[in-house]
Amino acid sequence: MPQTHPFAAMFDSSGYNRNLYLSKEDNCGGLYYHDNNLLSGSLEALIQHLVPNVDYYPDRTYIFTFLLSSRLFMHPYELMAKVCHLCIEQQRLSEPGLDKNRIQKIAPKILQLLTEWTETFLYDFRDERMMRNLKELSQRVASGDE
């Protein structure tokens, strides 16, 4: 039968490398990584990581994992409201004189995120609050598209 090492032995220089378990903080919002894998972050930082921008689109596994686990902390309609708010704020979709080229680069990414959400978690969209936010965001994105 294997034996468990004493607790103190786990912390000596031969058996425990404390640098192995330290994570570094991403400079953009409090996300913690280890070996290029996202380990943790504040709820707000994780939501920001979900929202695409001109140069970034989240990984599909992150989208699925976050949308699934976020319901432990907030209702899907609350998450959708935050995502809509971030899309409008970060992408400045509410500014009247916004560069059309910028909207044309952002719009497909936002629509792809919404498509993945609606296809994967269809039942989230039975709620009228979800549908209201979805309609508002899609109308804002579509208004920039000719």
- Digit-by-digit pLDDT tens for the chain (146 residues) are 444 444 444 444 444 443 444 444 444 468 999 888 899 999 999 999 999 988 899 999 999 999 999 999 999 999 999 999 998 886 665 555 566 777 778 889 999 999 999 999 999 999 999 999 999 988 888 876 54
Determine the residue type at 21: Y
Closest alpha carbon to 91 in 131, 51, 42, 31? 51
Looking at domain 41-143, its CATH class is: mainly alpha
- Which of 45, 46, 39 shows the shortest CA–CA distance to 20? 39
Task: Give the span between the Cα atoms of 47 and 96, in whole angstroms.
Answer: 26
What are the domain boundaries of the chain? 41-143
| pLDDT for the residue numbered 144 | 63
- pTM here is 0.74
